[in-house]
């Protein structure tokens, strides 16, 4: 898989610092599953954050602090690793990325001719605006602009807009400068995972139709 579109430095920094919203963080996690380049970039940012914290340390630490901390940690009985059981998910006709296995994923719902969506709910962050979108070949998605960021990871098929073409593995970040109208490629249907940060204004007739369904 050749990936051409990646999350921005700012997004990866926010993920490393834990300040990226739960929805965008989920979309970026799905990107990281298939992008070794971004996993490497993220580990760099994490190391940088650790070094900064180290420098910001206000008081010198007691010489034996490390030894005492290890002693205390060793005294705590180990807890068996507990991974939450995978959620029950409807058959969507696709393999879900690993990062989605612990989310509630709804069934495909009709949005318009050749256009379906499925609501993704993140445990602990029910307010996150995340969804799977499925469009048939050649579908013109509703034109829309943003007052926040839109994160979209292509899972299958392809999409194109005024800025380029997006294939499986690609992540597109569209900010409020972008007023775009994506079109699904002709080779197959396209499935994307999308998260919104802030508001998305949907234009046009289909946009107005979408609003009450999607709720944002
Ligand atoms: Zn990447």
Q: Which domain holds residue 115?
A: 1-83+99-216
Q: In 3-state terms, what secondary structure has residue 201?
A: strand
* 174 domain residue, yes or no: yes
pLDDT digits (tens, 9 = 90+) for 176-200: 666 678 899 999 999 999 998 865 5
Q: Please name the residue that has the structure tokens 């920094």.
A: 13
Alpha helices, DSSP H only, in 35-79? 36-56, 65-75
Residue 179 in any domain: the answer is yes
pTM for this model (two decimals): 0.77
- Residue 23's CATH number: 2.60.120.10
Of 31-45, 128-142, 198-212, which range is least confident? 198-212
Residue 91 included in any domain: no
- Contact predicate 4/171, CB 8 Å: no
Give a yes or no: residue 200 inside a domain: yes
Between the CA of 72 and the centroid of ligand 1 the distance, in Å, is 39
Give the Cα separation of 200 and 194 in Å (integer): 12
Q: How many residues does the chain have?
A: 216
Is residue 182 domain-resident?
yes
CB 11 within 8 Å of CB 27: no
Give the Å distance between the CA of 2 and the centre of ligand 1.
10
Please give the pLDDT value at position 77.
Answer: 64
Average pLDDT over residues 136-159: 84
Q: How many angstroms is it from 3 CA to the middle of ligand 1? A: 7
Please, where are the H alpha helices in the chain? 9-17, 22-34, 36-56, 65-75, 204-214
Please count the CA atoms within 13 angstroms of the CA of 213 that sit on its side-chain side: 18
CA distance 132 to 117: 5
Q: Which two tokens stand for residue 34?
A: 């298939």
Å from CA of 69 to ligand 1 middle: 37
140 lies in some domain:
yes
Q: Report yes or no on 57 lying in a domain.
A: yes
Would residue 92 count as lying in a domain? no
How many structural domains does the chain have? Answer: 1
- pLDDT for 67: 74
**What is the CA(40)–ligand 1 centre distance, in A?**
9
How many angstroms is it from 42 CA to the middle of ligand 1? Answer: 10
pLDDT, one tens digit per residue, over 70-106 is 676 677 666 655 666 666 666 777 888 999 988 999 9
């Amino acid at each position: 898989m050749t990936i051409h579109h990646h999350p921005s430095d700012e997004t990866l920094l926010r993920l490393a610092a834990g300040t990226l919203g739960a929805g965008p963080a989920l979309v970026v996690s799905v990107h990281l599953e298939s992008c070794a380049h971004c996993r490497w970039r993220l580990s760099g940012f994490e190391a940088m954050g650790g070094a900064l914290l180290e420098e910001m340390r206000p008081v010198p630490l007691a010489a034996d602090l490390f030894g005492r901390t290890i002693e205390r940690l060793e005294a705590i009985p180990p807890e068996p690793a507990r991974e939450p059981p995978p959620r029950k998910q409807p058959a969507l006709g696709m393999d879900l990325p690993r990062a989605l296995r612990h989310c509630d994923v709804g069934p495909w719902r009709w949005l318009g001719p050749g256009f379906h969506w499925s609501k993704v709910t993140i445990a602990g962050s029910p307010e996150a605006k995340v969804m799977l979108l499925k469009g048939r070949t050649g579908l013109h998605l509703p034109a829309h602009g943003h007052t926040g960021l839109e994160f979209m990871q292509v899972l299958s098929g392809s999409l194109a807009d005024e800025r380029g073409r997006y294939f499986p593995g690609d992540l597109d970040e569209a900010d409020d400068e972008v007023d775009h109208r994506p079109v699904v490629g002709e080779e197959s249907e396209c499935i994307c995972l999308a998260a919104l940060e802030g508001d998305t204004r949907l234009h046009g007739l289909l946009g107005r139709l979408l609003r009450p369904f999607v709720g944002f």
